[in-house]
Amino acid sequence: MVTMKQKYEIVLQHFRDGKSIRQISVDLGLHRKTVSDYIAKHRQSQSRESMKPGDEPLDLTDLNQRPVYDSRNRGKRRLTEEIQIRIDALLQLNKERRSQGLHKQQLKKRDIYELLVQEGRAIGYTTVCNYIRSRDLSSREAFIRQHYLPASQCEFDWGEVKLSIQGKTRKVQLAVFTSAYSNYRFSRLFWRQDTYSFQQAHVDFFAHCGGVFHQMVYDNMRVAISTFTGKNHKQPTESFLSLAMHYNFSFRFCNTRKGNEKGHVERSVEYVRRKVFSLNISFDNLDKANKHLQDTCTELNTRTGQGQEQSISKKFESEQPLLYPIAGHFDCSQIRQAKVDKYSCIQLDNNHYSVPDHLVGKYVNVRLYADRLDIYYQDKYQGCHGRIAGIGGWKIQLEHYLKTLLTKPGALQGSIALHQADKSLRKLYTDYFTQSPIGFIHLVGYLKKSGQSIEHILEAVERTRKQSPHDVSADKIIIVSQNMLQKGNAPVYHGGIETSAMAQLKEITGLFNQKNS
């Protein structure tokens, strides 16, 4: 290909130096016809001043621009007719899959290219993409730009993000809200995309905003739609309707497979996921991940959008006075009934949660929330658990099995209850009670009954160890703890005789008080 430098040399050597076409061809290593063509074009360019109105304009493109080969009429060397027939057959297969409802089981352009290469056909990926694009004769979709009023509309969508929680990779669900007017974003993480999480996300968002948007926009998510009665007719779930009635907002669902109809939040899910979790993906628990998410979204909302004069948060402040007021608290929980099995556990969503062992064989009521569950028996509160992420998990509280362990102390050491107990409590058992599990069970019972923290008990253990390093028992620890509560730094009694005397004195005092009463 002739370069601009060579074109310059051709013109200069012929018109200034007077060299012949043959000589220039030899000097520059170009064909004589090429040299003569550029000389002729230069003569034509010099004759422009002599042109009269109406004369045909001269085409001097080749002389004033960098030379390029004209490949418009050049045939495809590798995209043979045989390959075209093969690609057409694969595209027809995709069409048949779509007609069968298998939209997610189609061959992509990359799959078609790799299949052609496996079949021994020499072709490039770009060539395959260009041909497939040329076969798509359907017209491109047009979009209508919208104008939004403050507080008029907010969009919601779910996204998925992978995080490392306590060193284990977990799939976490990202709930994202985006104001259509200000582009203000609010987001929160949940373990699952269920009704409880959906409702809790709305409760948190409206509380954060201090009001309710006039209309909420959703895609065709199962937590909001119970049945599809037609292409554009959807029946909302009862739980979703109860949420909408409580907060008095209207709602709109997008058309099927038209998530772009809520373009703000579609982009927001990708934007928030990329901005928040591209660098930092490791957290000790979901609460810390949510704290990081909230802080980053606050910072993102302080930015000013392209072509805007105000920041996102400033525009949102103008929306807040126009939001609907919040009418009281919405209880986003449901009551379930469960039977306590022989392991003193209830099973919910294929996960097991412990309850006090005196409830074995009985039915309990469970109030289920997005992140926890509260357990009741005959309207009496029995405890709570954080919900387990995934399925097949066990959550066991050691204090739920004290009655059973008193009769089966040998079962303590290998129990899941001890394995899932507080780390400090497990260390206390390992250091002092491996040969006396009954004493450890009594100490855990005292910890539960007194309501003291594990730190308080550890301080009592440390004081007992200093006074009696070779005889740290549950009775001594309990006495020291009681002395700490009653007299602060009261003397600590140690030794077998002193401990026994203190226990007897406590018993006699109790009998005396009972007689007086």
Pick 103 or 387 by higher pLDDT.
387
**Is there a single domain that holds both residue 124 and residue 166?**
no
Examine residue 305 and state whether it is found in any structural domain, yes or no: yes
Q: In the 3-class helix/strand/coil scheme, how is 428-452 assigned residue by residue?
A: HHHHHCCCCHHHHHHHHHHHHHHCC
Predicted structure pTM score:
0.63
Q: What is the pLDDT of residue 376?
A: 95
- Verify that 238 and 291 share a domain, yes or no: yes
pLDDT per position as a tens digit, 153-187: 999 999 999 999 989 999 999 999 999 999 999 99
**Do 232 and 289 fall into the same domain?**
yes
What the block records as the tokens of 350 is: 């294929």
Whether residue 365 has pLDDT greater than 50: yes
Percent of the chain, pLDDT > 90? 42
Cβ-based burial of 275 (10 A; exposed 0-12, middle 13-18, buried ≥19): middle
**Residue 146 within any structural domain of the chain:** no
Q: Does 187 share its domain with 280?
A: yes
Same domain, 184 and 298: yes
d(CA 480, CA 370) in angstroms, rounded, equals: 41
Averaged pLDDT, 326-339: 90
- What DSSP assignment string belongs to 288-306? HHHHHHHHHHHHHHTSB-T
Q: Which two tokens stand for residue 333?
A: 């929980």
How many structural domains is the chain composed of? Answer: 5
Mean pLDDT value of segment 196-200: 93
SS3 assignment, position 190: strand
Give the pLDDT confidence score for residue 517 in this predicted structure.
45
Cα dihedral 435/438/442/448 (nearest 10): 90
Least confident of 183-192, 261-270, 309-318: 261-270
pLDDT(322) > 60: yes
Domain enclosing residue 353, as ranges: 334-395
Together in a domain, 183 and 280: yes
Q: Are residues 171 and 313 in the same domain?
A: yes
pLDDT at 393 over 70: yes
Judgement on whether residues 413 and 436 belong to the same structural domain of the protein:
yes
pLDDT tens sequence across 453-501? 889 889 999 998 888 888 888 888 998 888 888 865 444 444 444 555 5
Question: 131 pLDDT exceeds 80?
Answer: yes
DSSP structural state of residue 283? E
What pLDDT does residue 240 have? 92
The answer on 430 and 484 residing in a single domain is yes
Q: Indicate whether 73 belongs to any domain.
A: no
Strands 250-253 and 345-348: unpaired
DSSP 364-408: EEEEE-SSEEEEEETTEEEEEEEPPSSSS-EE--GGGGHHHHHH-
Q: Roughly how many angstroms between the first and final C-alpha of the chain, as a whole number?
A: 114
pLDDT at 140 over 90: no
Q: What distance in Å separates the CA atoms of residue 18 and residue 367, rounded to the nearest whole number?
A: 100
Q: Is the pLDDT of residue 95 over 90?
A: no
d(CA 224, CA 262): 16
Is position 223 within any domain?
yes
- Most distant CA pair in the chain: distance in Å? 136
Would you put residue 210 in left (φ > 0), alpha (ψ -120 to 50) or beta?
left
Residue 145 lies inside a defined structural domain of this protein = no
Q: Is 329 within the bounds of a domain?
A: no
Identify the bridge partners of residue 170 per DSSP, sorted by sequence position.
163
pLDDT, averaged across the chain:
84
Using the 3D structure, point to which of 395, 416, 440 is the last residue of a domain: 395
Q: How far apart are CA 386 and CA 12, in angstroms?
A: 85
pLDDT in tens, 48-94: 555 555 444 444 455 556 666 665 665 566 788 888 899 999 998 88
User: Are 249 and 349 within one domain?
Assistant: no
Single residue among 377, 395, 413 that ends a domain in this structure: 395
Same domain, 43 and 129: no
The answer as to whether 452 is a domain residue is yes
Enter the tokens of residue 57. Answer: 């304009």
Asked whether residue 201 falls in the same domain as residue 280, the answer is: yes
| Single residue among 395, 412, 442 that ends a domain in this structure | 395
Poorest-confidence range of 131-140, 163-172, 236-245, 312-321?
131-140
pLDDT tens-digit map of 400-443? 999 999 999 999 999 999 999 999 999 999 999 998 899 999 99
Alpha-carbon span 323 to 307, nearest angstrom: 25
pLDDT at 193 over 60: yes
* Cα–Cα dist 381/350, whole Å: 23
147, part of any domain: no
Residue 55 falls in which region: left (phi positive, over 0), alpha (psi -120 to 50) or beta:
beta
